[in-house]
Structure 1
Amino acid sequence: MSPTAQVFLVPGFFGFQTIAGLPYFTGVKQLLRDRLAELGVAARVHALDTLPTASIESRARYLGERIGAIVPADGSPIHLVGHSTGGLDARVLLSPGSLPELDDLRARVRSLTTVSTPHQGTPLADYLVRVEGQKLLRLFALLSVQGLRLAGRPVASAMSLGRLVTRIDELIMLRESALDRVYALLADPLSTERVRPIEQFFTAMRADQSLLHQLRPEAMSGFDQRVRGNPGVRYASALTRARPPRLRGTVELGMNPIAQVSHLLYQGLYRLCATQDPDSFGAPSDSQREALERIYGKVPDTRANDGLVPTRSQIHGAVIHVARADHHDVIGYFDDRQHDPPHMDWVATGCGFRHPDFARLWGDVARFMAGWGETTTTS
């Protein structure tokens, strides 16, 4: 009997395994395990944490240590799945010659699938190192608890909603004063116990923000030369492209204040991510171009993004899936309250991503791990 495969889910930028009781990957572990079992692969799926905004090299070392402490010493194969910057951490871990103390562990890795990973950086990183960007991060952390834990429960009055959207342009432009006002308003209904983990988490993030500087497109320009592929590992990527924001999207959200706020922030983030210099993107290989044209109909425009990362920046290895989704939809934070268990949106983008799309994405990841070819579908 073949040893049980060990699958590790590596989180991205925020780097938590759980925060205030919320998992980073929601619904992914069970779905991936079930899909692998259907393909005849017995697997144990682990969700990891990491260092929130430390350097990619520090995060990669921490990743190796965490895997080494968990994986059984039976020679079982290891498969890695990295969401967002977690994919970069895994690439550094697997690069020959890096972290020599992890050579034995690296030799057991069979595949790496990156999901929504900024292989060529993101212009959002330039913004996040500024004061406004720091406050946006803090607000995003609050939205994760406020919007997901309390989804469907009124947390602000109609008058409060009016205060949130009176100056729509301020939120879309991600101005510091608007971010402060929104944070104060949304934090007000929460108990100290709910807010404290957010503040503690943000304090930890401020202690080391090397990652933000590394993710700038200019800094990532030489990443592929510095971080070599491992010939013993199969590489694949799943891409995300969100719905471009429209005024109609704001109207569709109705009077839900959390959704209204997050959609206005999304409009600003989408526009910001669409500004990356087209020359900073490498040209897709022939096989990548063929896959993109077969799935999407064309190679995505350089302005296309998922609200945090340009779609063209996410291409690496075999393109096995292209999802019409935002950055967090693919880790289980999408709006599908009719499903059991229900799924709640992290950011209201109006992409229409639902559980069948979620299942197709992770089914393709499982097929790639199992060696069933380079499946290419879209959700």
Structure 2
Amino acid sequence: LACTKPLEGRGWDQKANEVRRKIRSVVTISAPHYGTCLADSWLASWAENRVISWTSPVPDALRLAWHLLRLVPEERHVVAQLQLAHPKDVVNFLRQVAFHRELIGNLRPSYMEGVRATHKAEPGVSLTCFVTGTPLRHDDERPSDSFFTDMYGLTKGDGQASPPVDRCRRLLEDLINTRSDLVIRSPHSQMPASIDATLNDGVVNTVRQIVKPDKAEEVGGFVVADHADVLGHYDRQDSLIEGSPYNAGLFHSGAGFRDDEFFRLYRRVAQAILKTIPGAQRVEEPEVDIVSIQPA
């Protein structure tokens, strides 16, 4: 809706234009603007056409399934306390995935790069991109677990990047080196040794989350986190109550993402939206390092 024409190339109809006229800002977090190499992996090919792709790498599939199953006993103390979804909701979700497998093709880098080359942003609509990524960790303090390691490997691709994507990489690298205030990270995290095309958050390649490589002002921040972290799926522990975490993260990347980083990110999201609202009253306050309350 924020482009001058829809994906299929035809013009917008009257109903769509009524909505489009009201759009003033678009904020994206971990969005695959130039696709994701995960959509080119054997896992995506199998999901897209399970019958034809039955010959996909069996050892890789078995290893991924085993690492996923290992999460159950590792997180049993958390799972026992969580409110599970209704079985009907789970079935509906799986049905939607099965009926919309064509979305995998739409997320392939080659397809999305073609879309970016032929579609222009609507003038007057502010865009802010928050970019996520975290390196694999093999240290003793916060090692990445097996499941995240598998997903990271499926997403990293072959390291090749088209000219527009490589310009996005150079832009992000320059911003990280010159604008440390744009980085949101836990003190327990590790910064990537380098910004390259393979860096990702377990689902989307980091440098593919930027739209315009010549618009530094459209990058709202670089978040050292995995894809699930920024959606709120991270290990949460009430600092005032002892006991087990009451919310378990999907990935355990080793980024150490917690409430402090989550609220810092979404505060910046709110600020990006407020800037586009005429007459909106906002008070610019310095960001605090700690927003959670620690026990005495």
TM range (shorter): 0.5 to 0.7
Deviates more, 1:290-299 or 1:344-353: 290-299
Which residue is equivalent to 1:283?
167
Tell me which of 224, 231, 238 is aligned to 2:123: 231
Identify the match of residue 268 of structure 2 among 340, 364, 368: 364
The aligned counterpart of 1:179 is: 65
Matched residues in 1 for 2:133 and 2:94: separation?
28
Task: Find the counterpart in structure 1 of residue 259 from structure 2.
Answer: 355
User: What's the counterpart of residue 266 of structure 1?
Assistant: 148
Matches of 1:327 and 1:134 in 2, distance apart?
A: 25
Give 3-state SS (helix, strand or coil) of 2:140's partner: helix
* CA deviation map 1:293-350 (0-9, x unaligned): 3236997222211111111011135111111100011111111212589543121222
Say whether residues 1:96 and 2:96 are aligned partners: no
* Aligned equivalents of 2:64, 2:172: Cα separation in 1: 41
Deviation >6 Å, runs of 4+: 132-135
Identify the match of residue 199 of structure 1 among 66, 91, 94: 91
What pairs up with 1:142-153 in 2 under 5 angstroms?
Answer: none
Establish whether residue 107 from structure 1 lines up as the match of residue 21 from structure 2.
yes
Q: CA deviation at 1:183?
A: 5.5
1:118-144, Cα deviation, whole Å (9 max, x unpaired) = 111111112343337889xxxxxxxxx
**In structure 2, what is the Cα distance between the partners aligned to 1:196 and 1:208?**
18
2:236–2:247 Cα contact (<8 Å) kept: yes
Q: Which runs of 5+ in 2 are unaligned?
A: 7-11, 51-56, 74-78, 184-190, 213-217, 277-286, 290-296
Secondary structure, aligned partner of 1:320: strand
RMSD: 4.0
Q: Which residue of 2 aligns with 1:221?
A: 113
Which of 27, 34, 58 aligns to 1:120? It is 34
**In 1, Cα distance between equivalents of 2:5 and 2:175:** 31
Q: Normalized per residue, which structure has more helix?
A: 1
- Larger RCO (CA under 8 A, 6+ residues apart): 2
| 1:100 shift after superposition | 2.4
> TM-score scaled to structure 1, two decimals?
0.53
Q: Provide the rounded CA distance (Å) in 1 between the counterparts of 2:154 and 2:4.
A: 35
Identity score, percent = 24
| Equivalent position of 1:292 in the other structure | 176
SS at match of 2:167: coil
Q: 1:129 aligns with which of 44, 47, 71?
A: 44
Distance 1:364 1:231 in 2: 23
Paired residues of 2:37 and 2:154 also in contact (CA < 8 A) = yes
- CA contact under 8 A between 2:105 and 2:111: conserved in structure 1? yes
Q: Is the 8 A contact 2:228 2:250 kept in 1?
A: yes
